[in-house]
Amino acid sequence: SSTLLYYVCGIFSLAQCVDGCNKFKLLMNNDISTEAAESHPKQYFSVSIALTWKDARSYCRQHYTDLAMIKDETENTVVASFYPTGPYWIGLYREGWRWSHGTNSTFTNWLTGQPNNAGAIQYCVQEDNTHKWNDWPCHSLQYFLCHKCKLCN
């Protein structure tokens, strides 16, 4: 089973995916039904398989929408509360700091001194235990976060 987070307009609920993600056992007290949660525009999924950034992106694209895109501080806080321990890949990479689906990042949350491209090989981004971002070698094996969109912009 995988853990997922529904998020829209500042409302979120943490749920445990069971029975192939067709039914949800809510782990937090809230009034969001399964039907309402499924209509939210973005869902985050943690994947506890250590892969390279490129392989993680492929996995997310095959099973969800893409590697996690964090567009602002609110989403970063939601992701931090959802997946409290890192490091894990997110969908940002060094080509003008774009998200894996191709848009430029207007929000960043870098660790102090980052990005530094140490050894001139750090082209991908991981979120660490403090939920700050660090450029990191793309060939490293990391857990990762995916998102699934229905109405994402």
pLDDT band at 80 (very low <50, low <70, confident <90, very high): confident
The secondary structure of 45-109 as a DSSP string is EEEEEEE-HHHHHHHHHHHSSEE----SHHHHHHHHHHS-S--EEEEEETTTTEETTSPBPS---
Confidence class of residue 9 from pLDDT cuts 50, 70 and 90?
A: very low
**Does the domain formed by 3-149 have CATH 3.10.100.10?**
yes
- The predicted pLDDT at position 34 comes to 39
Whole-model pTM: value is: 0.73
Higher-pLDDT residue of 111, 149: 111
Q: How far apart are CA 6 and CA 91, in angstroms?
A: 18
The string of pLDDT tens digits covering residues 90-136 is 999 998 899 998 999 999 999 999 999 999 999 999 999 888 999 99
Q: Is the pLDDT of residue 59 over 50?
A: yes
Domain boundaries, the chain: 3-149
